[in-house]
Amino acid sequence: MFKGSFTALITPFDKDGQIDEAKFRELIDFQIENGIEGIVPCGCTGEAATLSHPEQKRLIKIAVEAVNKRIPVMAGTGSNSTDEAVDLTEHAKKAGADGALIITPYYNKPTPRGQVLHYEKIAKKVDIPIVLYNVPSRTGVSMKPEVIAELSKIDNITAIKEASGSLEQVSQILSLCDIDVLSGDDSLTLPMMALGAKGVVSVAANVVPEEVSGMTKAFLEGNTEKAKELHFKLYPIFKAMFIETNPISVKTAMMFMDMLNGVLRLPLCDMMEENQKVLRNALIKAGLIRR
């Protein structure tokens, strides 16, 4: 159901740390104008961990309204509390989102059986396409391919954002079931698509949406040489987006590009000066800024 490039949208804040709704709408229009296939508000890149639930629900509603059915909206609705995840997913459904991206429960580190029960409950409670989200570097626990295969049997669990950084994991998932796989690591998108993944939920697309979209489109259309060319062109930017904890790097890059003020919510903070220099040089080499 979901394929191509989906932007893991940042959440813009004003100088006082409050959500800048006008800027959020502006960034959504920028994404659509530059050919992105879908957007993901309120994920890790959107600093969901520091958003209140009313803020998260408001952003999902704005995203659906701003998109106005032009592209799919995959709303981040995960939580380490199953009941909270159900509540956020129900809101996404009512708001008109096209799907829900639900991260594996973090901190409490459920067993594989607990993971299955978590997603089963959400899927049964809310009839919306669900995208599993495996990102062990953030959650402290990984989903085994066998668990993903079991969950793929549930009708409305349609895809997984796989951000383990392991091509072996992707190979095992796709050998066990036919769930749609989306890359959760920009630099691994093309290798994962070579194994059968359908696209990416991209951090880098916040700054280069047209190019990221062009890479996945080229591969899906069978133009592997063009896709490979774009992969190598974008690779330095892909890596630069993770110099520091996401979304510090991408928000700083957008500030350098005059797209954003770069404000983050604590405990995330301004990028270290030496890393700013590395990031700035990567942007200059990519032709995204002049100095």
What distance in Å separates the CA atoms of residue 259 and residue 262, rounded to the nearest whole number? 9
Q: Could you say which of 57, 161, 217, 251 is catalytic?
A: 161
- Let me know if 261 is exposed, middle or buried by CB neighbors in 10 A (0-12, 13-18, 19+): middle
Query: What integer pLDDT is reported at residue 290 of this predicted model?
Result: 86
Question: Is 121 a known active-site residue?
Answer: no
Query: What integer pLDDT is reported at residue 17 of this predicted model?
Result: 95
What distance in Å separates the CA atoms of residue 217 and residue 4, rounded to the nearest whole number? 6
pLDDT one digit per residue (tens) for the chain, 291 residues: 799 999 999 999 999 999 999 999 999 999 999 999 999 999 999 999 999 999 999 999 999 999 999 999 999 999 999 999 999 999 999 999 999 999 999 999 999 999 999 999 999 999 999 999 999 999 999 999 999 999 999 999 999 999 999 999 999 999 999 999 999 999 999 999 999 999 999 999 999 999 999 999 999 999 999 999 999 999 999 999 999 999 999 999 999 999 999 999 999 999 999 999 999 999 999 999 987
Query: What integer pLDDT is reported at residue 209 of this predicted model?
Result: 98
Q: How far is CA 172 from CA 5, 17, 144, 148, 155, in A?
A: 23, 42, 9, 10, 21
Query: What integer pLDDT is reported at residue 269 of this predicted model?
Result: 97
Q: Are 127 and 110 in contact (CB under 8 A)?
A: no
Query: What integer pLDDT is reported at residue 1 of this predicted model?
Result: 76
User: Would you list the domain boundaries of the chain?
Assistant: 4-285
Question: Is 133 a known active-site residue?
Answer: yes
- Let me know if 79 is exposed, middle or buried by CB neighbors in 10 A (0-12, 13-18, 19+): buried
**What is 4-285's CATH topology?**
TIM Barrel (3.20.20)
For the record, the structure tokens of 52 come out as 């209140």
Q: Could you say which of 57, 93, 133, 217 is catalytic?
A: 133
The torsion angles phi and psi of 145, rounded to 5 degrees, stand at -55, -35
Query: What integer pLDDT is reported at residue 291 of this predicted model?
Result: 78
Per the document, the length of the chain is 291
